[in-house]
Structure 1
Amino acid sequence: MARSIRHGLFAALAGFTVLICVCYTGLALVISYVTEDMLIDRLLKREAAAMTAHFRLHGDIRPAADEIIRAYRSVEALPPIVREQVVAGRGRAEIFTDTGQHYHLRSLDLPAQSGPQRIYLLADVRPLLVVTKLFQDVGGVLIAVALGLIALALLLAYLLSKRLVSPLQVLANEVRGLSQKSTIELSARHRPDEIGYLAKKLGTTIAELHSSLNREHAFTRDVSHELRTPLTVMNNIVALAQARALDTDDVAQLQAGLDEIGTTIDVLFALARAEHIAQETFDLRGCIEESLLRLLDNGDWEGERLALDLPDRLEVLGNRHLSMLIINNCVGNALFHGGANSRLLLSFADGVLSLCNTVDPARTGRMQGFLHGQHLLRRIAETMRWKIGFHAGATAYRVEIVPIRAH
């Protein structure tokens, strides 16, 4: 990140802090000066009321009671700078001078028999300018205190921004350090706030993405590996067909290769969709019987060549579709590699499902086909958290499957 979120948050908090300080300082100054002007205006107003009352009783103009206020009977008697304001038609004014005087002017019309008599009340309010005097005396201290408070506010803004953004920075660093093979363990996932929710969702999403990428890589690898053997066999048979006609055995191998490719593709797509296949409780014996009935219907096996030693119900936890792929593959291998006279025994004891078929020693060369497909079967079993083992012998081949029993 070119710009840290902490820097942005600190800049926002600092700017807001300075803005608030400047606004409140300006507001305090405005209130101080307005209060000062209102006080002076109140003094002039009270003096004007007293002079009006005195004039009505005695018919003359008395001097102002307040020593800072003077009454002028004519415009010519006013100071020149004040006279300019009166000539300009202003009856009330606040006048600043370069010589230090600060005047407040108020015109007053006294009721007389010959007509209103205008006088001018002029106050030199320098002694009352408390705000200006205050800044002259302790302005440096006030500025120092203000700067200190701003510095303290900026420090608090920095600490607050660091505290608020620190969990996000830790989360970002942990996500940045993740690799496809690393375990997703985000430290903020246990937080009860929005950051904890974000960490949980982010961890889940990254884990799902890694899982999808791993399945994609496995799918690509398995397609290349698992389909090469049957395609090689089929290509060899087709190449031999150019020199001689195909016999029944060759046609059977071609058909078996096609069946194997179809089964392999089904398995690969099932593994690629394994994330979306739910685990459920089902009867594994039902899957076995369904697979065997399909073979009997096709005439591939005779009933006396099959032997079952299974409980009436075999409840397991897994996925029915994936388990059918395992059973069909194992039984299909027994049919293809065992030979026409092979026998198949399916038994269950001590939590282990055993599929054992006899093998004609004369077909040892074709036994190599047993190794093909074992990787996919192991991956199917791992997907359901089952265990599977393969045991090849000179006269028998046995597959042992350890499913998860349903409680």
Structure 2
Amino acid sequence: MLSKQPFQRRILIAFVLMTVMVSGLFSLSIVGVVHFIEEHLVSQEMSRELGETLNEDIRQGRPPRLDSSTRFFSSNNPDYAIPPEYEGLREGFNEVVSGNEAFYVYVQKINGETYMLVQEQQEFEARENTLFNVVLAGFLLTVIAAWGLGLMMARKVMAPVSRLAQQVRHRDQLHPLAPPLAPDYPDDEIGQLAAAFDSTLGQVRQSLERERLFTSDVSHELRTPLMVIATSCELIAEAPLGPREKEQVARIARASEEMRELVQTFLQLARDKSNEAVFVGDRTLTAVAHEQASRWGVLMKEKGLDFRLLEEGQDDGRYNATFLGTVMANLLRNALHYTENGSVRLILEAGAFRIEDSGAGIPAEQHERIFQPFVRGSQARGEGLGLGLSLVKRICAKQGWSVSLQSEPGHTRFRVSLNNGA
């Protein structure tokens, strides 16, 4: 449909169609007017020639002096008897088609007698064909010129729109110090559109800045109480405690460490990626995987799961340890929560890793929604809010990684590709 075509093409098509209509009507008008004038002139010429033939030849007893393409007929002279195909024609100018030939016939009635001149149309047809060819050539040249001119005009009209779209798409427009767009454009429709974008982008910047400040402030304020909790756990662990108390203290310390890492993740997510020092890779995939395996392997063993760390490929790249650890930890936590029995595998590849489990699986219709905030699977366990996979997706987008999901009853696989990572 035309409405789905690019705007520049729609301008071009509209311009060409308008030109075709105008030039087509003009060409048809030329042909019609010329044809009308030609018939009028032919009629006058044949009327004059018939009068001269009657006055100077027939009435003087001489045969008509006509060229080879013109013939004379009369109703009162057997030598010039009117052929049957010409009988009954109206007085004046007529056009008669006989087989593959066409003739102009001029009829005049004088004192009840009918006189006529019949002239072949070959000469007139040649002139008409020449006229038609000239008009057709002019029409085609006009359409071609309209196409070129329309293309040039469409590009010129769309140039500021394309420029504005490119500026809006540029990620620097979300920077707090990004210059406004409207001053670069005249006070017309494009300028009004740029002003509308300025207003909308300003609101987006304010919203992002509020979110960044909130995340940064909250994360920063949580550091002190988390440090107090961690220190207290260390002091309590040195006191003589029973096995159950030691287990509870270890659990608190572990939760505090997870919270500290999560706070660090939120702090880095809240920072602008233009600060490249924050996102420089400092750990290998293998090192991060061994750390997470040692932490989650104990919990999975306590639940009776068969957990293994497998290396299928060598990866020497370095990645942001906070982000990579958070992604891996969230996926391992999901595997732990949703696998009642069987196995969990953390598999390392070259530039990627997989986490596979033998849990209940995720229905196919939930594969896209499961990465959205506050969305939990149909087999949800515990009191989670459904933010883990959303955080994984957000970190991957921030780092240029990608996460994919394949799941069926009894087998779920998350794969994170790090090929585009820092």
Shared fold, TM over 0.5: no
Q: TM-score, normalised by structure 2?
A: 0.40
Q: TM-score, normalised by structure 1?
A: 0.42
